[in-house]
């Protein structure tokens, strides 16, 4: 009778692995650097492999399941994988009626499908481990319904719905799934957004200060901690709404 | 010697028995895995698929993509029963 090969034991002396998508820039890069500093082994995924990152980078198109599968092939069976942070995202401010179909497709494929595909690929590693964290990224724009961001917000609303359901599916395995919804953080994503538009959003936050990458990292750090084991399926709004 | 259908079916029956607590003799090739009459819940099914993925790689040298369209299609699902899953695994081509 064929016997099942035992899973490789987790190497307690090795650092936990955190996979970060969108790690070549923006919030993904910021979080990946903080994770690296905190002692995690970081595997960053990005369409562009930056050479100045202090962590490992792998070229990946998150909208392509085969690209993700290739990038995560070894990680899917790595017992030290602890968390996935889906920070890859693109935006395009435009009215719905003037947004080209290809742009619509790219935004949904990167923001929503990319999150789904990465979760599909890495969840088995966390299930085998019996614990773990998945952190997705939404936007404060979902509850605020900001004009001109319909496609972006639609994709992120999808991420929030996915997060709630996936949290239920993974709860039996000790895995939490949450989303962080920042307002306008000063990154390349909003570099072309006029100042008055940014200020208008900030004024709608409970805490009327523009958030920083550090504010986002503080929440990521909290969600990664063992103490957050009872927080799942939630969307945490940076600045409040 | 290559792993044949019988060994694959035996492996799957053992896994289902282990996951569900059913006596080994109660799990057969016709044991239903999804849909009406299934013996595994969704959490157990995921564990079974993970085990099948490992088994395919380690014993068959093949990649079992259980999220593929053909594997998950309701009508053509290879997950209907122990037999259909064992048949699917036995027909996987060795990974390049």
Q: What is the mean pLDDT of residues A14-23?
A: 95
> How much is the pTM?
0.89
Q: Do B10 and A1 touch (CB under 8 A)?
A: yes
Distance (Å, whole) CA A32 – CA A20: 6
> Which of A16-25, A110-119, A223-232, B87-96 is the least confident region?
B87-96
Q: Is the dihedral of CA B1, B3, B5, B6 positive or negative?
A: positive
For residue A194, the model assigns a pLDDT of 87
* Cα–Cα nearest to B94, from B59, B68, B67, B69: B59
| Domain count for chain A | 1
Question: Does residue A62 belong to any structural domain of this protein?
Answer: yes
Q: How do the pLDDT tens digits run along chain B, 96 residues long?
A: 457 999 999 999 999 999 999 999 999 999 999 889 999 998 888 889 999 999 999 999 998 988 777 666 655 688 899 999 999 999 987 776
Task: Give which of B50, B55, B86 to mutate to test A binding, by max A Cβ within 10 Å.
Answer: B50
Query: Could you tell me if residue B96 is inside a domain?
Result: no
Residue A224 lies in a domain: yes
Residues of B in contact with A5 (CB under 8 A): 54-55, 58-59
Q: Look up the CATH number of the domain holding residue A228.
A: 3.40.50.720
Residue A171's pLDDT is 96
Query: In a mutagenesis test of the A interface, which of B43, B53, B86 is the best target, namely the one with the most A β-carbons within 10 Å?
Result: B43
pLDDT, tens digit, for every residue of A141-160? 999 999 999 999 999 999 99
For residue range A173-219, list pLDDT tens digits in order. Answer: 999 999 999 999 988 777 788 899 999 999 999 999 999 999 999 99
Q: What pLDDT score does A3 carry?
A: 42
State whether A124 and B50 contact (CB < 8 Å): yes
Residue B64: which CATH number? 1.10.1200
Whether residue A1 has pLDDT greater than 50: no
A79 and B CB contact within 8 Å: no
Residues B59, A124: C-beta atoms closer than 8 Å: no
Cα–Cα dist A139/A189, whole Å: 12
- For chain B positions 33-62, those within 8 Å of chain A (CB to CB) are 42-43, 46-47, 50-51, 53-55, 58-59
Range of lowest pLDDT (A7-21, A46-60, A187-201, A225-239): A7-21
Please give the pLDDT value at position B1.
44
Structure-token pair, residue A69? 């599968």
Catalytic residues of A: 152
Q: B14 lies in a domain?
A: yes
H-run or E-run covering A175 = strand A175-181
- Domain-embedded: residue A138: yes
The answer to whether residue A85 scores a pLDDT higher than 80 is: yes
Which among B86, B17, B18 is positioned nearest to B56, based on CA atoms? B86
Number of domains in chain B: 1
Contact B50 A172 (CB under 8 A): no
The whole-chain average pLDDT of chain A stands at 93
Place of tokens 């905190």: A38
Mean local confidence (pLDDT), A62-87: 94
Residue A5: the pLDDT is: 41
Question: Can you give the pLDDT at residue A125?
Answer: 93
Among left, alpha and beta (phi > 0; psi -120 to 50; other), residue A240 is left
Within a domain: B95: no
Q: In this structure, are residues A130 and A176 in contact, taking their beta carbons and an 8 Å threshold?
A: no
* Phi/psi-derived region of residue A148, left when phi > 0, alpha when psi is between -120 and 50, beta in every other case: left
The answer on pLDDT for A88 being more than 60 is: yes
Predicted confidence band of residue A13 (pLDDT cuts 50, 70, 90): confident
Does residue B29 sit within a domain?
A: yes
Q: How many CB atoms lie within 10 A of CB B77?
A: 17
Question: Kind of pairing, strands A81-86 and A17-21?
Answer: parallel
Domain that holds residue B19: 5-90
**What ipTM, to 2 d.p.?**
0.75
Domain encompassing residue A101: 17-236
pLDDT at position B2, please?
Answer: 59
Would you call B31 exposed, middle or buried from its count of C-beta atoms within 10 A (0-12, 13-18, 19+)? buried
Q: Which of A15-19, A224-228, B71-75, B79-83 has the lowest mean pLDDT?
A: B71-75
Does residue B13 fall inside a structural domain? yes
Size of interface A-B (CB pairs under 8 A): 35
């Amino acid at each position: 009778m064929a016997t099942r090969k035992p899973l490789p034991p987790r190497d307690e002396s090795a650092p936990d692995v955190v996979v970060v998508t969108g790690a070549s820039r923006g919030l993904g890069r910021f979080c990946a650097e903080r994770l690296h500093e905190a002692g995690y082994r970081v595997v960053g995924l990005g369409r562009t492999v930056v050479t100045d990152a202090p962590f490992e980078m792998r070229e990946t198109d998150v909208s392509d399941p085969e690209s993700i599968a290739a990038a995560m092939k070894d990680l899917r069976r790595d017992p030290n994988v602890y968390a996935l942070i889906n920070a890859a995202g693109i935006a395009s401010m435009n009215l719905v009626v003037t947004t080209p179909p290809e742009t619509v497709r790219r935004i949904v494929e990167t923001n929503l499908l990319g999150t789904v595909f990465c979760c599909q690929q890495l969840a088995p590693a966390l299930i085998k481990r019996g614990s773990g964290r998945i952190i997705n990224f939404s936007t404060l724009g979902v509850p605020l319904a900001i004009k001109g961001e319909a496609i972006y917000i639609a994709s992120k609303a999808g991420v929030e719905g996915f997060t709630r359901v996936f949290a239920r599916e993974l709860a039996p395995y000790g895995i939490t799934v949450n989303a962080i919804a920042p307002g306008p953080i000063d990154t390349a994503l909003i570099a072309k957004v006029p100042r008055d538009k940014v200020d208008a959003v900030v004024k709608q936050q409970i805490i009327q200060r523009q958030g920083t990458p550090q504010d986002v990292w503080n929440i990521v750090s909290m969600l990664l901690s063992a103490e957050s084991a009872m927080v799942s399926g939630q969307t945490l709004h940076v600045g409040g709404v | 010697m290559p792993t044949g259908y019988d060994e694959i079916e035996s492996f799957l029956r053992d896994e289902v028995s282990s996951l569900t607590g059913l006596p080994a003799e109660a799990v057969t090739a016709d044991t239903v895995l999804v849909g009406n009459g299934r013996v595994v819940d969704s959490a157990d099914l995921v564990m079974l698929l993970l085990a099948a993925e490992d088994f395919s790689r380690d014993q068959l040298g093949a990649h079992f993509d259980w999220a593929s369209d053909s594997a998950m299609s309701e009508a053509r699902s290879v997950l209907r029963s122990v037999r259909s899953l064992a048949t699917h695994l036995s027909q996987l081509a060795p990974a390049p």
